[in-house]
Every structure is written in structure tokens, then in C-alpha cells.
Amino acid sequence: YLMLDFLRNLFSSTLGLGSPDKVLDELTLEGVAQYIKSGKCKNILCMVGAGISTSAGIPDFRSPGTGLYANLQKYNLPYPEAIFQIDYFKKHPEPFFALARELYPGQFKPTVCHYFIKLLKDKGLLRRCYSQNIDTLERVAGLEGDDLIEAHGTFYTSHCVSFCCRAEYNLDWMKEKIFSDDIPKCDKCNSLVKPDIVFFGENLPVRFFTSMKMDFPRCDLLIVMGTSLQVQPFAGLVGRVSKSCPRLLINMEKAGQADPLLGLLGFGGGMDFDSDKAYRDVAHISTCDDGCLALADLLGWKVSFTGIFHKGIMSSTLYENEEPATNAS
């Protein structure tokens, strides 16, 4: 069966057979807006990364000079990614908790982009938002547990790292430890306690995989924002929507493009913005906030969007003092 699929993909891609229907009238932000306004689009998925939070003052990971990995010299790491390596953390937890103090949730406000995703929810169009971020700003903007897949985990809960214990701690407990310069240790067994964010060397949450299988085949518009699409398995999600599903990238540079050779061999599902065969992928090169504002304007949502944004900024300060909700199972 695998060989048959391979040959079918090879012939269809090289001979142009079985090309999916073109859903968008034009491969522009305007074309996407027209499609949303047509009423045919009811199950939007968002995939977001660190780029949606940079305007809130949170650095992304890979931007030269300003990214997180470029500014970790003070922690004397063997290499930048070590700060998120589970084995390194268990031996040297101090650098991670020092960084956590700088980036801790509650110090930053959601961005225009976060509130645009909330507006999609309010309009009944958002199926779910898949986020690589650990800053919890999607929740502060008003998304709830069921609206959100925090693919790389969350600060909302923490657990003892001991397999024999695994005691759970809430956000307030962890915050008190971090800001008192204590290394968080379990009250029951004295092992390290780590926020439930996914480190290199750890598995993604089970819910990421179960929801992915349900959501992506039903998706009728995929909006990808603020991610370089370099970290698997998250990056591979773009290839899990149907062949006819339009995909919009709002980012400072193009990302997720298919390798031409792999595309020829029928593998991948990466983005194709520029080739003669491009039929569904749109790249809007701008900041995430500007792209969301432009799309809201084209949709005629500017008034309601302005309202939700200002209301959200006002209420987010109240939200910080609320007891955090646990992740939906």
C-alpha cells in the first residue's frame, strides 16, 4: 500500500493529475477574506508561535541579535538550547528558573494578534488554536482550555519530576518559589518541580496528538502566524489539512515551504507560495499584529475588533489575579 501511495503521489505531482479544486479566488489576503465572508469557512485552525508575542515584549527564539537563544550568555550554558534540555535541567536547574523569572506569565499583555484569535472564536469560526507558546497570553486574551492546544505545554501547572511522586502544583505556588529565588522543590519528596512546559527530550501532551487527528481533516482554513515552522512535530501539522484547504501565513518571512525534491516524490505537504502550481497558500509578509488588523479590516470587523481589543486590555489586569484554570483534559 505504501508503494502504491508513493507511485500515485509521484504520478499526480509530476503529471498534474488529480489537482485539488482551487478554493480561493486569488492568492492574497483579500482572497482569504472573501473566502471567510462567503460563509463556506466554518472550521478555522490557527497555528501560532513566538512571533505573535514579540510585540508584547517577549523575545522569540531564533531572531538574530534579539532572539532568546542569542541572549543567554550570562547563564554560561554549554549551548543555548541546553536551557530547555530536560537532562541539563535536572542537573543545573538554576539557569531555567532565572530565565523564568524574566519571562514569567503575568508580566505581559496579549497582543492584537491574540485578540484577533479571540474574535474568530466569538464569530463562531475558530475550531481550535494550536500554540507553541508557553506565555499563556492566549488564555489571558479569553481563549479557554477547549479552544487551545498548548503544544509545548504551559506554566499553568507544574509537577514534581520524580516518577514515583509526580505531585502537582499550581501557578501561584510556582510563582512564589521563582520570585523568592528558591529552586522549586517538592513538598512531599524534595525532588525538583518543573512547570508543565515541554523540554527537549520530553513528549508533547497526549491531547496534542488526539486533537490533531480530529481537527486537521475537518479544517477549512489554516492560519499560521509568528512561527518559523522549524520544530517538529508541530511544523508538520501544515501538511495534515486536506489538499483543498487554503493556508494563510502571516509572518515576517516565508516559512514552511516544501522541499522541491520531496514535493516531487509526493512527500511533505509544505507551503507553496510561488510556483506555477501554487493554488492555496498565501504569504502575507508583515508583523502578526499588522496582518491581523489588515484581515479584520478586509472582513469588515474593525469596529468589533477594536472593541474586543480595548475590553481585553482593560480586563487582562484583573485576569492576572484570578486562580488559574487547569488544562482541559
Query: Residue 65 carries which side chain, given as an amino acid letter?
Result: G
Residue 174 in grid coordinates = 510556582
CA 101 centroid distance within chain:
22
Q: How far apart are CA 258 and CA 220, in angstroms?
A: 20
CB-count burial class (<10 Å; 0-12, 13-18, 19+) for 161: middle
In the annotated binding site, the residues are 50-54, 60-62, 132-135, 160, 165, 186, 189, 227-228, 251-253, 288
Using CA atoms, how far apart are residues 246 and 62, in angstroms rounded to an integer? 27
Question: What is the spatial distance between Cα 188 and Cα 62, in angstroms, rounded to a whole number?
Answer: 38
Q: Is 298 helix (H, G, I), strand (E, B) or coil?
A: helix
DSSP for 200-246, please give it: BTSPPPHHHHHHHHHHHHH-SEEEEES----STTGGGGGGGS-TT--
Q: Are strands 168-170 and 153-160 parallel, antiparallel or unpaired?
A: antiparallel
The span from the first CA to the last CA of the chain, in angstroms, equals: 35
Q: Helix, strand or coil for residue 307?
A: helix
Give 44's strand partners: 126, 221
284 is catalytic: no
Show the cell assigned to 225.
502566524
Closest residue by Cα to residue 114 from 195, 42, 58 = 58
User: Which residue matches cell numbers 489539512?
Assistant: 241
Residue numbering of the annotated binding site for NAD(+): 50-54, 60-62, 132-135, 227-228, 251-253, 288
* Marked catalytic residue, from 92, 152, 284, 310: 152
Q: Write the DSSP symbol of residue 316.
A: H
Q: Which residues are annotated as a binding site for Zn(2+)?
A: 160, 165, 186, 189
Catalytic residues: 152
